[in-house]
Amino acid sequence: METLPGADEKAAVVRSMFDRIAPSYDRMNRIITLGFDQRWRRSLVDALGVGPNDTVLDLACGTGDFALIARQRGAHVVGLDFAGAMLAAARARCPEAIGLVRGDALRLPLANGSVSVAVSGFALRNFVEIPPVLAELARVLRPGGRLGLLEVDEPRSGPLRLGHAVYFRRIVPALGALLSDGQAYRYLPASAVYLPEGEGLRAMLAEGGFTSIEKRSHLGGAAQSITAVRA
Ligand SMILES: C[S@@+](CC[C@H](N)C(=O)[O-])C[C@H]1O[C@@H](n2cnc3c(N)ncnc32)[C@H](O)[C@@H]1O
């Protein structure tokens, strides 16, 4: 089992890991999600009803997948990430109309109520703490603004759970070691422990000022999309 960083070192470890894997990040995402990750992002952006009247924050945007999809829907988009190499990859793919900012999810350089939609893909596990990030999202979203989160998850039922465990904990790290960075793709399954169990995320969102919280499972529970509305 991969040793996970302590809270005091997590941000620095996570940032340098994403700086290292940035060049192979998109290819690995497509491979390990069997090509489904972009479909999940598009369907989350559709569920949020993103359109030309929206200002969208792609939080922890990485290489800009969500930012690009939101821009294709006509929205004004800003992507924010703290890893310079991930942002550089985003800059190489995104049109100039998408604002890309280097910053920390814990201190968003955005005014109160300045965005109508916030999305974040596969990032919650990587934050040092989730509730302060939800508080920042609640601050920058206008009342009635929509939040969409995409994350890994674990199937609940026996056979699916076992198959998923073998794939996620054995095959994904082996593919990572072969095609990208072994340490990073051992961290990926191990970091699922940072996610609250069961209804924990729903409770965090409710406490953070969000309502209408809905969860959708993907691929038998291997991934999850959550939508919520800023009260
Ligand atoms: C797994 S990647 C997800 C990238 C992208 N959102 C996607 O859907 O593929 C996680 C991203 O979170 C970023 N990140 C982690 N903690 C952060 C923080 N505190 N502030 C800003 N970005 C952060 C990392 O740099 C990395 O690019």
For the chain, the structural domain boundaries read 7-230
**Half-sphere exposure (CA, 13 Å, Cβ side) for 82?**
19
Name all residues whose Cβ lies below 6 A of ligand 1: 11, 14-15, 18, 29, 60-62, 65-66, 81-83, 86, 104-106, 121-123, 126-127
Identify the band that residue 1 occupies on the pLDDT scale cut at 50, 70 and 90.
low
Atom 4 of ligand 1, residue of closest alpha carbon: 62
Domain 7-230 classified CATH 1.10.3210.10?
Answer: no
Q: Which of 59, 126, 218 is the best mutation target for the ligand 1 pocket, counting ligand atoms within 8 Å of the beta carbon and taking the most?
A: 126
Q: Is the pTM of this model over 0.85?
A: yes
Which has the closest alpha carbon to 183: 9, 1, 10?
A: 1
Query: Residues 160-166: what's their mean pLDDT?
Result: 96
Mean pLDDT rounded to a whole number for the chain: 97
Rounded mean pLDDT of 58-76? 98
Ligand 1 centroid, distance to 101 Cα (angstroms) = 12
Instruction: Tell me the Ramachandran region of residue 119: left when phi exceeds 0, alpha when psi lies from -120 to 50, beta otherwise.
Output: beta
Beta bridge partners of 119: 58, 148
Predicted confidence band of residue 161 (pLDDT cuts 50, 70, 90): very high
Given pLDDT bands bounded at 50, 70 and 90, which one contains residue 120?
very high
Q: What's the pLDDT score for residue 78? A: 98
